Amino acid sequence: MRDFDEQTITNAVQTSFAGTPDARLRQIMSSLVAHMHGFIREVEPSFEEFQAATKFLTATGQISNQRRQEFILLADVLGVSMLIDAINHRMPDGATETTVLGPFHVADAPLCANGADISAGVAGELLFVDGSVVDPQGTPLAGAAIDVWQSDAEGFYDVQRPERSLSALRARLCSDAAGRFWFRSIVPAAYPIPDDGPVGAMLRATNRHPWRPAHVHFMISAPGYQMLVTHVFVAGDQYLESDAVFGVKTSLIADFVAMPPGALPDGSESAQPWRQLSYQFGLKPAST
């Protein structure tokens, strides 16, 4: 265990993990060393660059707490989160594509009946969401649990508004016998990811912006099916081609159709112009 050079050190480190009892851990550590050493050989960092990297990772840990996970944010902007999501959610035809959960989900959102206004009085352009939940063959799934949440018209989630004491723009609903669910909300806005820490500094240094295109989050589950975590993005948003966390998929972009004043699909009335989102969500069977 001595006299290693830049070519022999990799094998020596990999060999040091040969006695790891857990085979999966042994595989992970060996592969990690191979790729990390390969990266170092490729870019040949100076000692100053290595020190800058350790300072960056230290700062990433120091800013993280129970409400903020900067390492997850780092994984997001490097495409790691979406790569892991893609590997773990290979979807069959008829199943809706997934995307990242994001940091603003709240476990116990208000339980609402179909047709409810989930805006809690937050100002914005009226949005009527008409959704359906089906299996990959298009058969409606009754009793599916739907969790929805979104930003307000200024790009903030309720948990980012310290002045708000009640939940807003989030709810839990249930699909009816025909697999449908519907609710009132407001049109969401694009928003920046937190960029006041090390990840934001990295984005600025690489001339990248922190913005995400406007979207509504959906988490949908039903017995016998894998939970679906996804977004529906607003067609035409300026950040669809440059989402800071690489979460946009063409199948998840939908028209939020502009409608004139008058009757809504549930029979209620709007005196102002409004928008309608209609989207069908397909769930993947748990056995596939």
* pLDDT (average), residues 281-285: 97
Residue 276 scores a pLDDT above 90: yes
Of residues 267 and 208, the one with the higher pLDDT is 208
The helix-helix angle for 198-205 and 70-77 (nearest 10°) equals 20
Encode pLDDT of 179-190 as tens digits.
Answer: 999 999 999 999
Q: Which H/E stretch holds residue 191?
A: strand 191-192
- Helix, strand, coil: what percent of the chain each, to 5? 25, 25, 50
Is pLDDT of 240 > 80? yes
Q: How high is the pLDDT of residue 67?
A: 73
What domains are there in the chain, each with its CATH number? 1-44 (no CATH), 81-282 (2.60.130.10)
Query: For residues 132 and 158, which has the higher predicted lDDT (pLDDT)?
Result: 132
- Say which residues have a Cβ less than 8 Å from residue 219's Cβ, sequence separation at least 6: 101, 105, 146, 147, 148, 227, 228, 229
CA distance 157 to 20: 45
pLDDT level of residue 84 (50, 70, 90 thresholds): very high
**Do the Cβ atoms of 131 and 146 come closer than 8 Å?**
yes
Going by pLDDT thresholds of 50, 70 and 90, the confidence category of residue 2 is confident
pLDDT at residue 165 is higher than 70? no
Contact 161, 126 (CB under 8 A): no
> Confidence band (pLDDT; 50, 70, 90) for 272?
very high
For the chain, the straight-line distance linking the first and the last C-alpha, in angstroms and rounded, comes to 47
pLDDT tier for residue 3 given thresholds of 50, 70 and 90: confident
Length of the chain measured in residues? 288
| CA proximity to 255, closest of 234, 284, 279, 231 | 234
What percentage of residues in the chain have a pLDDT greater than 70? Answer: 99
Q: Which of 155, 160, 84, 158 is nearest to 121 (CA)?
A: 158
Residues 61-82 have pLDDT tens digits of 999 987 788 999 999 999 999 9
* Burial status of residue 207 (CB atoms within 10 A of its CB: 0-12, 13-18, 19 or more): exposed
For the residues 23-40, what does the mean pLDDT come to? Answer: 98
Tell me what the pLDDT averaged over the chain comes to.
95
pLDDT of the residue at 102: 85
Asked if pLDDT for residue 20 goes beyond 80, the answer is: yes
Residue type, 73: L
Which of 52-56, 162-166, 237-241, 252-256 is least confident? 162-166
The pLDDT score that the predictor gives to residue 111 is 96
Out of 102-111, 112-121, 243-252, least confident range: 102-111
Q: Which residue has the higher pLDDT, 35 or 162?
A: 35
CA angle 212, 230, 236 (to 5 degrees): 45
Low-confidence winner among 139-148, 173-182, 260-269 (lowest mean pLDDT): 260-269
**Is 199:109 a contact under the CB 8 Å cutoff?**
no
Provide mean pLDDT across the span 217-235.
Answer: 97
SS3 132: strand
At residue 160, the pLDDT reads: 86
C-alpha pair distances (Å), 196 with each of 124, 139, 204: 27, 46, 11
Closest CA to 171 of 78, 250, 106: 106
Confidence label for 216 from pLDDT (cuts 50, 70 and 90): very high
